[in-house]
Amino acid sequence: MSMDMRLQHNQDDSEHGFIKLMAVENTDWEQLCQQVRQTSGALGTCFVFFSDQQPAPQLVMGHRWPLLPKWTAADYQFIWQKKSFYNAISGPDLGSKSYVAVPIIRGELHGLILLKYQATAPLLSSEQRLLLDILAVQAALLWQEGKWQKRVGQDRGRQERNAQAQKGQEIATQEGSRQEEAVPARLPVPSSHLREDTSHRLLKRLKTLFDHAPIPINVFNAEGRCILWNEACERVFGWSRSDIKQHPAPLHLFYPDASDQHQVKAAFYGANDSEFQEWRPYHRNGQRLIMQWANIKLPNGDTLCVGHDISDQKEIAHQQRLAANVFESSYDGIMVSDAEHCITHINPAFTRITGYSLEEVKGRYPAFLKHLSVDRELYHELCEQLKTADHWQGELTSLRKNGESYSLLLAVTVVKDEADNVLSYVAVFTDITYLKLHEAQLRHQAFHDALTGVPNRLLFGELLERAISTAERNEGQLAVCYLDLDGFKAVNDNLGHAAGDKLLIEVSRRLGLITRSCDAMSRLGGDEFALLFTALHSSLECDEILNRVQKIISQPFDLDGEIVNISASIGVALYPQDAHEAELLLRFADQAMYQAKKQGKNGYVFFDATVHQQEQSRHQQFAQVRAGFRGDEFLLYYQPAVDLHTQSVVKLEALLRWQHPERGLLMPADFLPLIMGSSLELELGLWVIEEVLKQMSAWREQGLVFKISVNVGAGQLMHPDFTEQLSELLARYPSSLASSLELEFQESAVLADINAAVAVLQRCRNLGISMSLDNFGTGYASLNHLNQLPIDTIKIDRSFISDLLSNAHDLNMVTSVIQLAATLKLNVVADGVERAEQGARLQQLGCAQVQGYGISQPLPPAHIDGWLKNWANKKR
């Protein structure tokens, strides 16, 4: 028999058809044949089964279809061997009819489904092929069930024959044999309960099962298009059913890399392999998944894929490996115990820190490590907290295996299951022994003087706070002493800082000898010390202690062969008489120490509240001056100086005034003493110079050119930054202004360090500024000093001018100054001229330049122009 066989394909896919066909599982042969005809469109169908043990095929006719007499077992074997499935089979021996064979495979059972068509068999779509493959599986199941029922019938007949033989009834074995061979052309139909479920109900159940299966299930045809795609696939991959089924090559969505595509296609279209393999497809959002897939090759060439997402499992496995690595390699000790507190696991760091191996601790309670052997309250706190909370952390002290004590930072975590039952306890601890030692060293450094080793100001403050609390409870008294060494600067300057350091160390040692264990001593800084004496009964007791302090300090010090004698000035504040706060007591003792310095040093002074109030008043006044300066309440007045010979204006002196909001216009004597020696003195002095430069510029625009003198105090003149700041000020204005600026200073400003003063004055002159020595004759400047100073003018103090006409001594003094100025070729100006007779007498003595109320009182800038006009009229 010749056959013309062709394999044809169609892309008509239908998920519904696959589900529907699966519903034939419980139908009988007739129903199964009907499903095949409906699926394939054939006129008739039959099922053929054969095996090596059966030389001829055995048929089950599904629709009264007569067996083809001209077909032999060889024909069926030929179709099977050549894999001539799903092709149209036709030939002259078959007449006008055409056939299609669908393979049946189940274990060792082979068979075919034969489909008969009137003429040429139509093309079978992928859907039809898949459905027929499923029907072939159902046919094999029905065949095997029929064979089983046949064997059951044979066994029952054999039992009946045996029973009859026992009763003496003979039954011919040949008849029995014929009964066995009388197998009907139809296999036994399954029991009635298998037919009760209708096809519709099974269809609904199977569709629900497929759609809602918890694992991804899909089917791809030979061309790589998706036929089936369940809800789990949508959830895992993010692609909807319509997206996948409409895509011509959906595998590219999951494996966009060319290298992955080649490997996937090789496995997908290769040999049938139902074993799960690991793949890494991509989710729609770009995240890479880890999946296990089993690809099952169906007889029609399609591939059934079943998989499950193991990304979470992989992550859990990774976390477990990571945790294991951390456990083994952690520098911190880790101990795990069960719910009964018995140790189950330790890591290598535990052994390194404690000295105990796993064999030595496994099954034992952590208490054997003697945690908190000296602090049972903390251990009790740990246990109680773990009963109510899942975590505890704190510092403990434990013993190593060798008995050595060590400090540890311990954290204990309770591990529970979903039912909140304790599974285990995990203790993680760090050996902080060296950290605690270092911490102690740092604390010592933070609270002790680096040079002497005695408590510093910070620690002394804490000790004083504690002493005050104790004295308050016991109604006691204590004394705070602020001690400053007299003569220490001379030791540093003459013998060097090394000798000074040795002196401070020896002073600390001596003071330590006279302090009791309940007392305290501190080096506050430099050559200042503080002493705290507690449990005093009276101030007389404090006097005795202070006398001992002065005596021990006054004894000579041997500094590497250099004998040094110093003394101490001490200020004392008492608790509770003077104050109740530590800060106030130390401050009051400091103030009393300065009073002791003023009284001649080498003594001690108790704090005086009256003196303190005066100091407070001075501080308040200083604050008011500073607020007035910040509030632009200061201004400048100008007083002219004239030449009586020429009647011309020689210069103007800038004089500072404070327009106080309550007290009115204040003179410099009312506020300058309050700021002497402070930073405000320098700040205010620079402001005056800048205001003068501004005023000079304004007058020059009006055609008025004057030399203007400005008073500078000692603190401002000798400040290290003064000349630099002065140079910066001058740079902001025309250079010609410098020659019109004159600085006046008093003798006292330069006598402390004449060499330094000469250098400062010379730098000022280099800037183009002229210099004037104010109030000459009232100080102690010698002729040699006067000759050294780079000055241009001497100003005679007003105290010699007021009695010039009546006091011979003042007259002689003024005469000498005028002659000295002439000898040194210096200008001379007489200040404080109030009467014409004084001016006339000064002219006779050779001093024509005068200044005072007899010429003009100090005027605000706006009045200068009017005064100049009046002065010009007087000259006429």
* pLDDT at residue number 610: 82
pLDDT digits (tens, 9 = 90+) for 302-339: 888 888 888 888 888 888 888 888 889 899 999 999 98
CA distance 135 to 351: 68
* pLDDT at residue number 107: 57
C-beta of residue 290 within 8 angstroms of C-beta of residue 315 = no
pLDDT digits (tens, 9 = 90+) for 644-671: 999 999 999 999 999 999 999 999 999 9
- The token duo for 119 is 């003429």
Residue carrying the six token digits 């009045």: 863
Percent of the chain scoring above 90 in pLDDT: 42
Cα-Cα end-to-end distance for the chain:
161
CA distance 61 to 170: 37
* pLDDT at residue number 698: 94
* pLDDT at residue number 211: 75
215 has pLDDT over 60: yes
Residue carrying the six token digits 């099977």: 80
* pLDDT at residue number 268: 73
* pLDDT at residue number 649: 94
201 has pLDDT over 60: no
> Concatenated DSSP letters for 144-209?
HHHHHHHHHHHHHHHHHHHHHHHTT----HHHHHHHHH---SSPPPPPGGGTSS-HHHHHHHHHHH
pLDDT digits (tens, 9 = 90+) for 460-501: 999 999 999 999 999 899 999 999 999 999 999 999 999 999
C-beta of residue 486 within 8 angstroms of C-beta of residue 567 = yes
* pLDDT at residue number 233: 92
CA distance 117 to 101: 12
pLDDT digits (tens, 9 = 90+) for 249-292: 888 899 888 888 888 877 776 655 556 788 899 999 999 999 88
* pLDDT at residue number 49: 77
782 has pLDDT over 60: no
At 688, the pLDDT band (50, 70, 90 cuts) reads very high
CA distance 225 to 130: 14
At 10, the pLDDT band (50, 70, 90 cuts) reads very low
* Average pLDDT rounded to a whole number, residues 517-534: 94
**Lowest mean pLDDT, pick from 169-173, 547-551, 757-761, 838-842:** 169-173
CA distance 800 to 641: 17
At 694, the pLDDT band (50, 70, 90 cuts) reads very high
29 vs 172, more confident: 29
Percent of the chain scoring above 70 in pLDDT: 81
Nearest Cα residue to 551 out of 502, 603, 508: 603
* Average pLDDT rounded to a whole number, residues 720-737: 91
Name the CATH superfamily, with its identifier, for domain 341-436.
PAS domain (3.30.450.20)
**Lowest mean pLDDT, pick from 41-55, 492-506, 765-779, 848-862:** 41-55
- Distances from the Cα of 821 to the Cαs of 785, 786, 788, 814, 824, in angstroms? 14, 10, 14, 11, 5
At 147, the pLDDT band (50, 70, 90 cuts) reads low
* Average pLDDT of the chain, as a whole number: 82
CATH fold for domain 624-875: TIM Barrel (3.20.20)
At 739, the pLDDT band (50, 70, 90 cuts) reads very high
C-beta of residue 405 within 8 angstroms of C-beta of residue 399 = yes
CATH of 448-607, one of 3.40.50.970, 3.40.50.300, 1.20.1440.130, 3.30.70.270: 3.30.70.270
- The residue type of 289 is L
Return all residues near 238 (Cβ < 8 A) that are at least 6 apart: 283, 284, 285
At 398, the pLDDT band (50, 70, 90 cuts) reads confident
Taking residue 679's Cβ as centre, other Cβ atoms within 10 Å add up to 11
- Range with the largest mean pLDDT of 439-443, 519-523, 786-790: 519-523
* Average pLDDT rounded to a whole number, residues 214-223: 84
Identical fold, 341-436 and 624-875: no
- Longest CA span, the chain: 187
Local structure of 49: helix, strand or coil: strand
pLDDT digits (tens, 9 = 90+) for 155-189: 566 666 665 655 544 444 344 333 333 333 333 34
- Distances from the Cα of 854 to the Cαs of 20, 205, 799, 830, 833, in angstroms? 131, 127, 15, 12, 6
pLDDT digits (tens, 9 = 90+) for 115-132: 888 878 888 876 677 678
* pLDDT at residue number 711: 94
* pLDDT at residue number 350: 94
Q: Rounded to the nearest 5°, which phi and psi values hold at 662? A: -115, -40
At 24, the pLDDT band (50, 70, 90 cuts) reads very low
- Element spanning 573, H or E: strand 567-575
Domain spanning 212-314: which CATH class is it, in words? alpha beta
At 625, the pLDDT band (50, 70, 90 cuts) reads very high
* pLDDT at residue number 206: 59
At 599, the pLDDT band (50, 70, 90 cuts) reads confident
* pLDDT at residue number 343: 93
Q: Where are the domains of the chain?
A: 15-194, 212-314, 341-436, 448-607, 624-875
**Lowest mean pLDDT, pick from 292-296, 564-568, 872-876:** 872-876
* pLDDT at residue number 623: 92
pLDDT digits (tens, 9 = 90+) for 30-73: 777 888 888 888 888 888 876 555 555 666 555 445 545 456 66
* Average pLDDT rounded to a whole number, residues 151-156: 60
CATH fold for domain 15-194: Beta-Lactamase (3.30.450)
604 vs 140, more confident: 604
